[in-house]
Amino acid sequence: MDKKMLAALNDQVNAEFHSAYLYLAMSAHFENIGLPGFASWMKVQAQEEMVHAMKFFNFILDRGGKVDLPAIEKPKGTWKSVSEMFADALEHEHYITKRIHDLVALAIKVNDPATQSFLQWYVDEQVEEEKSAGDMLQKTRMVEKAPGALYFVDREAAARVFTMPAGVTI
């Protein structure tokens, strides 16, 4: 594999694990402020991020590349409000989408159709990622001044469950 492509894929393993860290930090914070439904929602999100990371990890190895695992950046740990957390989550997903699109551009530049094809799953996944963070931001902005309503949205958030995507082993 092209050296720049390999380095960029390794960077993305790190970025996806950092995403998992960020959402775990948010999950812990929600638990601490008595919102277990949002805490559970964020834990599921963190599990999905670990899958994203491991798909890159497995792909690098399948292509005969060397996996390089640098330290994972410490995430932010406190937030002023519920909606601020989902606003941060949405902003983070926009950042990850940009990274994925840059990876696609690099795969085209170095003429690596296998990586290009592999990345299509992430291009589609990021549409979902931005939508789910955006939906939660909209909902929590509407209800955060009304504790009764926030309680029900928190309970609704608890319904989210993690499902392993088909064909993925971690």
Residues that bind ligand FEO (CB under 6 A): 16, 19, 49, 52, 93, 96, 129
d(CA 20, CA 11): 14
**Smallest distance, Å, CB 46 to ligand FEO?**
10
Burial class (CB in 10 A: 0-12, 13-18, 19+), 147: exposed
Instruction: Decide whether 93 or 112 has the Cβ nearer to ligand FEO.
Output: 93
* Of residues 46 and 82, the one with the C-beta less far from ligand FEO: 46
- Cβ at position 166, least distance to ligand FEO in Å: 17
C-beta atoms surrounding 28 within 10 Å: 14
Distance of closest approach, residue 57 Cβ to ligand FEO, in angstroms: 13
Dihedral sign of CA atoms 163, 86, 95, 129 in order: positive
Please identify, using beta-carbon distances, which residue of 49 and 154 lies nearer to ligand FEO.
Answer: 49
